[in-house]
Amino acid sequence: EVQLEESGGGLVQPGGSLRLSCAASGFPFSSYEMTWVRQGPGKGLEWISYISSGGDATYYADSVKGRFTISRDNAEKSLYLQMHSLRAEDTAVYYCARDFHAGAMYFDLWGRGTLVTVSS
Amino acid sequence: SYELTQPPSVSVSPGQTASITCSGDKLGSKFASWYHQRPGQSPVLVIYQDNRRPSGIPERFSGSNSGNTATLTIRGTQTLDEADYYCQAWDSDTAHVVFGGGTKLTVL
């Protein structure tokens, strides 16, 4: 089955760190560009970060640049998001998503999301 | 930074046509995509490259994009189409993916 499954969310204190993972299955992960999108409680979708299929190119939203790092392990078919200096406004459901095709920048496969709560 | 603007809500009667707009500076020069998201579920791509439908998306979903406005049109709207709809584009100038604020479609 073609799917993405996020993990690693949880409760973290302000200023803390967390690493999210996204496990891919059912498709050639190494051929696809990937992205992270988050959705705060009751809010809309917010793009966070993108990584090329080989991992050599990455982009970040201004709201997380310098605090979050996207990476991938194609051998493990996994995508990661390392988050540092977390703030209350980072509280959200975090989705990983697959780019439709190389350079498309629209996303045809989404995981179910993992909830990150930043609170003391 | 590039912004996409959507109306917060749109209402339509069952069987009628719903139109949801998305506005952005020279949006017509970019590709627009659309997603729907039912409560508690993940987003689903319903339109890409302005007017193309992924496999499995009904023909009653269509899109257009010209000037500063992209439009998602749903013909013969059904109650199961009730969801939040988001437009999205890629801003190559900033290398940012941009989502609109979302439109809640109510079918009643």
pLDDT-based confidence at A5, cuts 50/70/90?
very high
Instruction: Summarize pLDDT for A6-57 with one digit per residue, the tens.
Output: 999 999 999 999 999 999 999 999 999 999 999 999 999 999 999 999 999 9
Provide mean pLDDT across the span B57-68: 97
Judged by CB atoms closer than 8 Å, whether chains meet at A106 and B45 is answered as yes
d(C-alpha B77, C-alpha A113), whole Å: 28
pLDDT one-digit tens code per residue, B46-58? 999 999 999 999 9
Q: CA–CA separation, B70 vs B32, rounded Å? A: 7
- On the question of pLDDT at A103 being above 90, the answer is no
- Phi/psi at B9 (5° precision): -150, 150
A46 inside 8 A of chain B by CB:
yes
On the question of pLDDT at B101 being above 90, the answer is yes
A95 touches chain B (CB under 8 A): yes
Put simply, the answer to whether B86 touches A105 (Cβ < 8 Å) is: no
Q: What is the pLDDT of residues B22-47, one digit of tens each?
A: 999 999 999 999 999 999 999 999 99
Q: What is the pLDDT of residue A104?
A: 84
pLDDT tens column, A63-82:
999 999 999 999 999 999 99
Q: Which residues contact B55 (CB under 8 A, 6 or more apart)?
A: none
With a cut of 90, say whether residue A101 has pLDDT above it: no
Q: Do B43 and A106 touch (CB under 8 A)?
A: no
Residues of A in contact with B90 (CB under 8 A): 105-106
Q: Is the CB of B35 inside 8 Å of chain A's CB atoms?
A: yes
Is the CB of residue A27 less than 8 Å away from at least one CB of chain B? Answer: no
- A5 lies within 8 A of chain B by CB: no
Distance CA B4, CA B85 (A): 13
Identify the closest residue of chain B to A42 by CA–CA distance.
Answer: B39
Residue among A37, A44, A108 minimizing CB distance to B54: A108
Residues forming beta bridges with residue B37, ordered by sequence position: B84
